Chains A and B, each alone.
Chain A
Amino acid sequence: MARFISRRVAYCLLSLFLLSLTIFLFVRVTGDPAALLVEPGASAADIAAIHHRFGLDRPLWVQYGLFMWSLAHGDLGQSFYYQTPVLDLYLSRLPNSLVLASAAMVFSLLIGIPSGILAAVRVGRFWDSAGKVFALLGLSLPSFWVGLVLILLFSVYLRWLPSSGAGTPLHLIMPAFALGWYFAAAHMRLTRSSMLEVLGSEYIKLARLKGLPESLVIAKHAFKNALIPVITLAGINLVIMVNVAVVVETVFAWPGIGRLLYEGITFRDFPVVQGVVLLAGAMIVIVNLAIDILYAVIDPRIRLER
């Protein structure tokens, strides 16, 4: 088991190293941040001064080395735009993102799982078709459009909800719905397919042959097993919701990490983009590691695999 865990940890560290290298190079391909910090017509000396201030005049490998050195010391660097440590910015936005992601996740599970079950047990009938339409809309409607329609309806016309910002439960409703719908659709589809697979298995047939009521077969025997992949996906989705709800957070002016990432990209704020992507990557890697270890504990065959 120890060998299995250490191998997995090594893979995780390698993944994070590759991610750090990729994002470090990728942000630099997007262009020169100095161009966004000065007015058109700025002299070469002014641009050079900005490069020097941010260390962008150094060779790339030196910049990367300094970045990794800082990272090893828990320092994600200083934002070019905000002139504030990236970690402070990230942590100041994290509570808002956690609240939004949690609410969106609750919504997506409350909608996605029951509708997925319903679609699976009524396969090919009205509820299945309705579920497919729901999933199709959730996955295909752009979040910014959903967001603006919600604002128009619930804020401008009905005047029930605040249009933007954060701070009260009322602020949370529309962004959570806009963010949760997409994931509800994904959860619904996975629940449906997982349920269909489980419902076709031998032990379910046996349970039915034994004369158990259909509700019991579904609730007790099928649902529990079908839920495992959904929960796994939900865990990963939660990390995604926390870190990359870029569009929803921007439309609703929700002060979370997604908006921070948007600002980082907009202003070519390399340290912010690097920091947010790395922390999101680290979260996904850690969640995956935990799942791997959990699987290995449950199923010894997994840890014996080479």
Chain B
Amino acid sequence: MSSGLKGREPYPAGGTSAIRRRDLLVAAGVGLTTVGLRPAVAASPDQLTWGVHVSLAPTWFEPAEASGIITPFMVLYALHDAMVKPMPDTALAPSLAESVNASEDGRTYEFVVREGARFHNGDPVTSADVKFSFERYRGIANALLKARVAAVDTPDARRVRFQLKEAWPDFLTFYATATGSGWVVPKAYLEKVGDDGFKKAPVGAGPYKFVSFTPGVELVLEAFDGYWRKKPAVKRLVFKVIPDEGTRLAALKLGEIDIAYSVRGELAEQLRKTPGLALKPAVVQAPFCLYFPDQWDEKSPWHDARVRKAASLAIDRKGTNEALTLGHSEITGNSIVPRGYDFYWQPPSPEYDPDKAKRLLAEAGFPRGFDAGFYFCDSSYANVGESVVDNLLGVGIRSKLRPIERAAFIKEFGEKKYKNIIQAGPGAFGNAATRIEAHLVKGGVFSYGSYPDIDTLYQQQAGEMDRARREALLFRIQELMVERTIYAPIWQLAFLNGIGSRVGEAGFGRIPLFPYTSPYEDITLKGT
């Protein structure tokens, strides 16, 4: 696989081009002759270039392998299309599906494939492709989906009918947002080239088609004029992997890239102050909070709700937000359910009142505070932890920051190995019910304990097909979570990015809670 860049590119990207002896001699001599070199600024008039913070992988071309992390959707939104997917107007927008109908008993969902929708190779999108894509799906929650879907029928070339074993109110959430099972790939092409061939030359029904890919280095896409929604405005997209955020910012300032993902803290401040560049925050589906795993232990100070409330009152969310994410994170007060998720309940705004926190601690029998032990957090967000540990110390809760490497943190958190305080940042797809299942109820992946009344409410909502009644139950659970300070909220994280002067519409924040630029067909260059 090689770079397929064309056009005016002062520094042809992709690491595979051969460097000749003459080039090396030039390179050796250039140190003496650098004066007078042309500025390193580059821009093709019909191309946008991204500086991506993570390594691009071919698995991201393959919806069947969606692992549950949001990053691959950065590419899926360009290359592929889904029957239903989150879009600017709605979280469940019909895309390749023209319509979606659920039966009254909640056991049948019928989709009608959009007329005229085509894959990049010209083949029409049919119900057989939809069925094939669902059946070959092997990514996250695959077992759950397959266990609940009894059959997928295709009465004709445009109609697909999902028969569920029993009513499942979250079917569309899982089919359209929490997994990659609703993203459609061409059956005939895949059967011809096989899985490996598909990863090397993917064909989708999205707004951009594949041109070339150098693993971990660069991905090049070209506009698909036959995209059903609209013809993309930018002809060519180039995604360059630039792991270091300082280098990404430098590349953005130089005009080598047009869009830089993930620029944080002081670098973001610098970006904001640079003329011609613009900071583009995107609030994502990750609310940060403190969890008190010892609250079910009667001997622990955290057993007393006043102590937990004091910890919450001690957190200077606004100050930390200003310092770390330039005020762009959202202080919602909901610890585990992000604003924008289905069945999200809006709590009262969380208070910052250290004096009240001290009074509550004194009432709880800790007038001089107490030693709270370790404060565990994902090392990627140790900066948030530093700030909160400092806030807690201000009211007398003395804790020691213990940043743990991300994967180990997630694993040990899930294995219930931590005590004292955990800084959590749940980021899984789904809705309020799926978050509550993982973080609040008995047996939840990250639940260290539970409250019987919450468990009962959760069970009641799981089979409730009436939306209003289900919403009331889920709201009540979230209300109880806040009342009891089971968690202390911090914020809903903002992912900070930058754009250069050539970008018209970047697409940041258009799809709620999506951290990347999308929909790609809406992205424009200035003046187009």
Contact = CB atoms under 8 A, between A and B. Distances in A.
B16 interface: yes
Nearest to B13: A165
Interface string A267-306: 1100000000000000000000000000000000000000
A259 interface: yes
Contacts of B142: 46, 49
Contact of A93 (B15, B405, B439): B15
A162 B42 CA distance: 9
A159 B12 CA distance: 17
Contacts of A156: 250, 253-254
Interface in B411-440: 411, 413-414, 425-429, 438-439
Tell me which of B15, B140, B241, B411 has the highest count of chain A C-beta atoms within 10 A of its own C-beta: B15
Contact of A167 (B15, B68, B140, B254): B15
Contact of B408 (A31, A251, A252): A31
A94 to B, nearest CB: 10
A170 B240 contact: no
Interface in A146-160: 148, 151-152, 154-156, 158-160
Nearest to B425: A40
Contacts of B408: 31, 35
A226 to B, nearest CB: 24
Interface string B12-48: 1111111100011011101100100101111000000
Interface stretch (B52-60, B74-82, B95-103, B310-318): B52-60
B244 interface: yes
A173 B30 contact: yes
Interface in B1-20: 1, 10-19
Nearest to B437: A41
Contact of A250 (B240, B243, B428): B243
A171 B59 contact: no
Interface in B221-262: 240-244, 246-247, 250-251, 253-254, 256
Looking at chain B's contact residues, the main secondary structure is: loop
B23 A169 contact: yes
Interface string A71-105: 00000000001111000010011011001001100
Nearest to B200: A84
Interface stretch (B209-217, B358-366, B515-523): B209-217
B13 A170 contact: no
A110 to B, nearest CB: 8
Given A39-B140, A92-B16, A164 B215 contact: no
B55 A46 contact: no
Contact of A259 (B16, B28, B216, B413): B216
Interface string B314-335: 0000000000000000000000
Contacts, number: 212
B468 interface: no
Interface in A30-61: 31-32, 35-43, 45-46, 49-50
Contact of B57 (A83, A102, A173, A260): A83
B141 interface: yes
B199 interface: yes
A106 interface: yes
**Interface magnitude class on chain A:** 35 or more
A267 B56 CA distance: 12
Looking at chain A's contact residues, the main secondary structure is: helix
A262 interface: yes
A100 to B, nearest CB: 10
B411 A32 contact: yes
B16 A154 contact: no
Contacts of A169: 19, 23-24, 26-27, 30
A155 B250 CA distance: 7
Contacts of A171: 11
- What are the 8 A-B residue pairs with the smallest beta carbon separation, nearest first? A255-B15, A169-B27, A159-B39, A35-B407, A39-B68, A41-B428, A163-B250, A255-B217
27 contacts: A31-B405, A32-B407, A35-B407, A35-B410, A40-B414, A40-B445, A43-B143, A45-B144, A46-B141, A82-B216, A92-B16, A92-B214, A92-B215, A102-B24, A106-B28, A159-B41, A159-B254, A160-B34, A160-B37, A161-B34, A162-B42, A164-B256, A165-B240, A167-B15, A169-B19, A177-B31, A255-B217
Interface of A: 31-32, 35-43, 45-46, 49-50, 81-84, 89, 92-93, 95-96, 99, 102-103, 106-107, 144, 148, 151-152, 154-156, 158-173, 176-177, 250-256, 259-260, 262-263, 266-268
Interface of B: 1, 10-19, 23-24, 26-28, 30-31, 34, 37, 39-42, 55, 57-59, 67-70, 138, 140-144, 196, 199, 214-217, 240-244, 246-247, 250-251, 253-254, 256, 405-408, 410-411, 413-414, 425-429, 438-439, 445-446
Given A40-B413, A164-B247, A164-B256, 9 more contacts: A36-B406, A41-B428, A103-B24, A156-B253, A162-B42, A163-B256, A169-B24, A253-B241, A263-B55
